Amino acid sequence: MLSEMEFAQLFIEYAEHGKQQEEISKKIEEEILERKESSKIAGVTAKYFSEGFETPDYEQVAKVNMPDGFDLSPYSKEQEPSVKWKEVCEALQVEVPKGAPKPARVTIK
């Protein structure tokens, strides 16, 4: 069994390594964002996601533009209560505004 001092030292080392890992992660993210490509080295993957747009709110647009009595059954699944709102918007010939802009980002695993 470890002494209290040795046991406490393990916690201190763990905290220090966490801070060090955060600093390294930030450096990796900055480099990946600059390179604009994913990388995998030594079992660590830094995945690059380019900027884009969030998914538009098809459901809200469809409901605002849907005439009374519009049949949703062709756009629904019987097994699960969901509607393909994008297809409903296409059927209604409604232009859907883009979703909010998303900046480029990096995930590290």
Judge if pTM exceeds 0.85: no
Look up residue 96 and give its two tokens. Answer: 């859907």
User: Where does residue 93 fall: left (phi above 0), alpha (psi -120 to 50 degrees), or beta otherwise?
Assistant: left
pLDDT in tens, 6-44: 999 999 999 999 999 999 999 999 999 999 999 999 999
What mean pLDDT value characterizes the chain? 92
CA distance 39 to 98: 30
* pLDDT class of 54 with cuts at 50, 70, 90: very high
Buried b (16+ CB within 10 A) or exposed e, 61-82: bbeeeeeeeeeeeebeeeeeee
Q: How does strand 101-102 pair with strand 39-41?
A: unpaired
